[in-house]
Amino acid sequence: MAKPSKKLVSCVILDLDGTLLNTDGVVSEILKGFLGKYGKQWDGREAQKIIGKTPLEAAAAVVEEYGLPCGNDEFLAELNPVFSSQLCKIKPLPGANRLLKHLSGHGVPMALASNSPRGNIESKISYHQGWKDYFSVIVGGDEVTAGKPSPEIFLEAAKRLNREPSSCLVIEDSIPGVTAGKAAGMEVVAVPSVPKQTHLYTPADEVINSLLDLQPEKWGLPPFQDWIEGTLPTEPWYIGGPVIKGFGRGSKVLGIPTANLSTKGHWSLLSEHPSGVYFGWAGLSTRGVYKMVMSIGWNPYFNNTEKTIEPWLLHEFNEDFYGEELRLVIVGYIRPEVNFPSLESLIGKIQEDRRIAERALDLPVYSKHKDDPYLISSLHSERNHS
């Protein structure tokens, strides 16, 4: 087991929106509709400016950026009822339930500290089973004189937990939150919610890609025990569509024939899942079901501008299958997306991912998904039409 490489902590203080809950997805949908009324189009470019801000600051940023003909208070008054009606749609981020259950099961005290008003926080967590009981302390932005990046919210949480600030670990997705945690004299793990911006999070003690990558033992907390032979079982999720031509580099540059899927129509699904390497089963409508390892993300080595899905079917095919219906059941996670110093090291890592996935998919916990109706139905429907 890894020895703690950081300072030991005895409690955890978590941010809510963007750290535990995928609030950004719902906020983006609401802003899209709202701005449409003014003939404007929400393109997410201001996501950076509103993450971690108080509601009023976030409203001010949007009103100013888009030149809206209304005041900040008016904007919030119109937006709040819509947002309240959508609270039930906000999903936990991958790894959130796992982390909360783990810490709670080991008796680690937890607090929620968010710039949102207290009532708003309680409404949001009421839709998630057990969450209310996980937190012995909740501090909202309306309970302190200044929200993050002021340290006050975290200091108040530590005080109510009856802990020294130096024994608290903060988990945050925003730069104001990281700034506040460090100013409070706490250890801070950043899980950036905006892609390709990790360089802005240098004040944090550690920056991780997603909650799936948190190693509590680094902070003297109990380690997760759910990794199996280098893989982490996840709730199965599904994605499919016709195979498209990718960047042409899979076979040419890497010697690895990936079967690319269009990301069209999958935007919200892709935004729910952190970039990284996953594995599972792939069904090709005319051929059968195969083992599969895949990457989701921006591929830092090639610096993609869009998040892509690049599955690699672990089978020797004699010809291309562009246009064929490909269905994927993703059942486990291997590692976060990382940049590599050289093409050789990238290829070496991808080959290692393949070996890990091939071995893991023979384990009952993963092999049982080979018969998933989603994969099988694609085969049947094709045969019925031929």
Average pLDDT for 358-370: 97
Greater confidence (257 vs 244) lies with: 244
Q: Region 242-259: what's the mean pLDDT?
A: 60
Mean pLDDT of the chain: 85
Q: Which one is predicted more confidently, 69 or 132?
A: 132
Of the ranges 109-118, 128-137, 332-341, which one carries the lowest mean pLDDT score?
Answer: 332-341
Asked if pLDDT for residue 277 goes beyond 70, the answer is yes
**CA atoms of 33 and 79, how far apart (whole Å):** 10
Segment 134-165, tens digit of pLDDT? 999 999 999 999 999 999 999 999 999 999 99
3-state secondary structure of 344: helix
| Predicted TM-score (pTM) of this structure | 0.86
- Pick the more confident residue, 273 or 246: 273
- DSSP H or E segment with residue 61: helix 55-66
- Active-site positions read 15, 17, 310
Residue 372 CA to residue 289 CA, distance in Å, equals 10
Residue 13: which of 164, 209, 200, 199 has the closest Cα? 164
- Cβ count within 10 A of residue 203: 14
Using pLDDT thresholds of 50, 70 and 90, give the confidence band for residue 1.
Answer: very low
Q: What is the pLDDT of residues 79-115, one digit of tens each?
A: 778 877 888 888 999 999 999 999 999 999 999 999 9
